[in-house]
Amino acid sequence: MGTGDNKETGAIGKQTGDGDQEKLRGAKYFQDPGFWGFIHRSFTKSMGYTDEDLRKPVIGIANTFSELNKCHSNFNELVDYVKRGVWQAGGLPMEFPTISIGEPYVKPTTMLLRNLMAMDTEEMIKAHPLDGVVLVGGCDKTVPAQLMAAISANVPAIVLTGGPMLNGRLNGQSLGACTDCYKYTLEHKAGNITDKELSTAEDAICRSDGHCMVMGTASTMASIAEALGMALPGCAAIPAPDSRRKHMAERTGKQIVEVVRQNIRPRDVITPKSIENAIRVTMASGGSTNAIIHLVAIAGRLGYKLELETFDKLAADTPFLLNLKPSGKYMMEEYFEAGGVPSLMKELESKLHTDCLTVTGGTVADNLRGVYTINSDVIASLDRPLAEQGGIAVLRGNLSPNGALIKQTAVSPHLKKHRGKAVVFHSPADLEARIDDPDLDVDENSVLVLINAGPKGAPAMPEIGQIPIPQKLLLKGVRDMVRISDARISGTSYGALIVHTAPEAAIGGPLALVRDGDEIELDIEERKLQLHVDDSTLELRRKDWKPAEPAYDRGYGLLFLEHVLQADEGCDFDFLLPKELREARKKGGNDQ
């Protein structure tokens, strides 16, 4: 896991400049005097490259542009600026595609395809003569997929995210996707907004290129890439249309050539200590619950199991500092103007592992030297935090023996400690069919429970954990309720939403045994999620439990169902873990 030989990728040795051409991966293709060298040079020259070009470090640029991915609509232009930087630094840029997965479009969920994108990216890197790679991503699952691939391929790499949208604007107010998407559709459902007003909001909320501009999953993962040291400082928060995003792309192109020359690999940068830094940044940011699944998967690619207790421990010791929606007031545009991730990390500096190496070639401490916060209303100080604890809490109890998550900073205060009777929906289809039934036996104190919405059950754990408030309660003014599922939520969601309940119902987890009228207790301060049903009753219910029919009987879907891990293990495929972790799982009896 250091900077020496990597047998899997074929990358070798320490690279210090043009004098070490024979040690570059690209040189093994283009400087080979034999038959295959002739083929490689001949075919590449036919595209307009010269012998001089082929002596440079080969820099792959993974371009995930797609017209089916709004969040990546500016990527072709960004890639041009990356190429400019690579050429200026003496490298040879070569763009290549991978699959692109966009949250607004992919059904049943992009989570089905995160691992496929990671596999695609890893194999493209390993199969080609790349000395380094720039991973251009942005939408929720693209950055974690690229980070997972980067660790497994372990070729010098930098992440370049595409940037958030500008704030939406309507009637003098700022709007954030998709936090305010939920608000407008909810009020429309309650009869408080007309069809015309809803259409006007649709036109106003997404007014530029870029990903969601609140601290949703896209912004969270961009921040994590920076906190890990895999993106250049300041990269995460620059709005997509801002000219400084282009400057960042050019700087990234220059820096990847230097990263190759210094032979800095992803496994040198992404370590247990840098992952702890990323967790602290996530907690201080009020980041997405999806970050937990992705960070567990990233750690798994390194060969170690990241326990949920690590997140809870760090959350308890990391104050909430970032005043961004959905847990605060502002959005990424103001975050950028306040100093972005570097300023947040500067506030957290005493709690970070500042000796971690980054793709700048320096340490976290080096990168934070001279950094300060411009607006303390956006980024609070450590001694005057917005809240004493970070955004995400891990809940345990007989309903979630392997853990469940709640974004505590987005929960209505009166629901942080709650006990109510369950109203159970047995599948996403059942939820859709009955949630607005006027005869549904539900009141504001009920606990809405959605089962069979996890990794194997839904399938692929879609972002449907923000269970809608029943219409008859909306009309009475109810805007939040305790809701529990084995699904995920968008990082833009808000409310008393308990998600990632593990093990999931589809494999017989306790959630499958909940019945209408059962009492459920939530106590966030005590980290408690308890089903108040005696063990003998639960055992009788378990004997009657039968798994649902699988969603797929062939193809990639079947591969997913047969090999996906549970939420607390990162939802990676078991066969993509390093050998040592696969063997440890077998010894621990964790095979599913």
Q: What is the dihedral of CA 481, 485, 487, 488, to 10 degrees?
A: 40
Q: Cα–Cα distance between 137 and 211 in angstroms, integer?
A: 10
Helix, strand, or coil (residue 396): strand
Q: What is the CATH number that goes with domain 56-166+208-368?
A: 3.40.50.2300
Q: Which residues contact 317 (CB under 8 A, 6 or more apart)?
A: 351
Q: Which residues contact 324 (CB under 8 A, 6 or more apart)?
A: 214, 215, 219, 285, 286, 330, 331, 332, 334, 335, 378
Using the Cα atoms of residue 200, residue 204, residue 209 and residue 213 in order, give the sign of their dihedral. negative
List the one residue out of 372, 87, 114 whose CA is nearest residue 257: 87
Q: Which residues contact 586 (CB under 8 A, 6 or more apart)?
A: none
Using the Cα atoms of residue 245, residue 251, residue 255 and residue 256 in order, give the sign of their dihedral. positive
Query: What are phi and psi for residue 425, nearest 5 degrees?
Result: -115, 130
Query: What are phi and psi for residue 193, nearest 5 degrees?
Result: -130, 135
**Residue ranges in 454-497 assigned as alpha helix (H):** 471-474
**pTM for the structure as a whole:** 0.94
Q: Cα–Cα distance between 209 and 222 in angstroms, integer?
A: 16
pLDDT of residue 548: 87
Q: Cα–Cα distance between 293 and 571 in angstroms, integer?
A: 7
392-544 topology per CATH: Glucose Oxidase; domain 1 (3.50.30)
Partners of 134 in the beta sheet?
61, 158
Cβ contact 572:460 at 8 Å: no
For tokens 């990233």, the residue is 298
Q: Cα–Cα distance between 9 and 156 in angstroms, integer?
A: 11
Query: What are phi and psi for residue 575, nearest 5 degrees?
Result: -80, -5
111-127 helix and 142-153 helix, angle to the nearest 10 degrees: 40
pLDDT of residue 15: 38
**If you write DSSP's letter for every residue of 263-327 in order, what string do you get?**
T--HHHHS-HHHHHHHHHHHHHHT--THHHHHHHHHHHHHT----HHHHHHHHHTS-B-B-BTTT
Say if residue 57 is preceded by a cis peptide, omega within 30 of 0: no
Q: Cα–Cα distance between 524 and 388 in angstroms, integer?
A: 14
Cβ contact 16:260 at 8 Å: no
* One pLDDT digit (tens) per residue for the chain, 592 residues: 333 334 444 333 343 344 444 478 999 999 999 999 999 999 999 999 999 999 999 999 999 999 999 999 999 999 999 999 999 999 999 999 999 999 999 999 999 999 999 999 999 999 999 999 999 999 999 999 999 999 999 999 999 999 999 999 999 999 999 889 988 998 998 999 999 999 999 999 999 999 999 999 999 999 999 999 999 999 999 999 999 999 999 999 999 999 999 999 999 999 999 999 999 999 999 999 999 999 999 999 999 999 999 999 999 999 999 999 999 999 999 999 999 999 999 999 999 999 999 999 999 999 999 999 999 999 999 999 999 999 899 999 999 999 999 999 889 999 999 999 999 999 999 999 999 999 999 999 999 999 999 999 999 999 999 999 999 999 999 999 999 999 999 888 889 999 999 999 999 999 999 999 999 999 999 999 999 999 999 999 999 999 989 999 999 999 999 999 999 999 999 999 999 899 888 887 665 4
Helix, strand, or coil (residue 425): strand
Q: Which residues contact 276 (CB under 8 A, 6 or more apart)?
A: 310, 314, 353
Q: What does R_g of the chain's alpha carbons equal in angstroms? A: 24
pLDDT of residue 586: 83
Task: For residue 297, give Cα distances in angstroms to 77, 152, 468.
Answer: 31, 11, 29
Q: Cα–Cα distance between 54 and 44 in angstroms, integer?
A: 9
Domains of the chain by residue range? 24-51, 56-166+208-368, 169-201, 392-544
pLDDT of residue 2: 36
Q: Which residues contact 74 (CB under 8 A, 6 or more apart)?
A: 162, 163, 209, 210, 240, 241, 245
Tokens of residue 225, six digits: 């890439």
**3-state SS track over 182-249:** HHHHHHHHCCCCCHHHHHHHHHHHCCCCCECCCCCHHHHHHHHHHHHCCCCCCCCCCCCCCHHHHHHH
List the one residue out of 36, 133, 137 whose CA is nearest residue 92: 133
